[in-house]
Amino acid sequence: MKKIKFISIVVPLTLLMIFFQNCGGDMQFSSGVLNDSQNGNVGTQIPNDNIPEIQNPPDGDGSRDFNRDVGLFAMIFEDRLADDIDWDHNDMAVKFSVKEFYNSSNQLQKIEMIVYPRPFEGTFSNGLRLSPDGLINNIGSGSDRNLLVKQTKPLFNGPGSIVVTKIKDTNPNKDCYAGKTFDKADDVIIFTNQQVAAYPISSNTRDNRCVYQVTVNIGEPSQNPISSRPKFDISQYRFFLHASNENRMVDLIDVNNKFYGFGRPLGLFVPVEFGYPPPAQPIGNFYSNYGAYINWLKAGRPVGADPKIVEWYKYPNGRKGQLIDGL
The per-residue pLDDT for range 227-280, each reduced to its tens digit, is: 887 666 666 777 777 776 666 776 665 555 555 556 666 667 677 677 878 777
What confidence score (pLDDT) does residue 119 get? 60
Q: What is the pLDDT of residues 77-111, one digit of tens each?
A: 666 554 566 677 777 777 777 778 888 888 888 88
What confidence score (pLDDT) does residue 134 get? 79
So where are the chain's domains? 5-322
- Across 3-12, 167-176, 214-223, the highest mean pLDDT is recorded for 214-223
Residue 71 has pLDDT above 60, yes or no: no
Separation of alpha carbons 23 and 34, rounded Å: 11
Separation of alpha carbons 224 and 83, rounded Å: 44
Q: What is the pLDDT of residues 191-201, one digit of tens each?
A: 877 667 666 55
The DSSP element (H or E) to which 293 belongs, if any, is helix 290-298
CB 277 within 8 A of CB 296: no
Q: Which CA distances in Å does 322 have to 87, 92, 145, 292?
A: 16, 19, 37, 22
Residue 22 has pLDDT above 60, yes or no: no
CA 14 to chain CA centroid, nearest Å: 7
Round the average pLDDT of the chain to a whole number and report it. 67
Separation of alpha carbons 270 and 76, rounded Å: 8
Question: pTM of the predicted model, to two decimals?
Answer: 0.70
9-13, 33-37, 195-199, 295-299: range with lowest mean pLDDT: 33-37
Higher pLDDT, 292 or 31: 292
Q: Select from 2, 29, 189, 190 the least CA-distant residue to 109.
A: 2
Banded pLDDT at 147 (limits 50, 70, 90): low
Amino acid letter, 28: Q
Q: How many CA atoms lie within 13 A of 237 on its CB side?
A: 24
What confidence score (pLDDT) does residue 34 get? 27
Banded pLDDT at 123 (limits 50, 70, 90): low
Q: Which CA distances in Å does 312 have to 21, 131, 269, 290?
A: 18, 29, 11, 6
What confidence score (pLDDT) does residue 254 get? 56
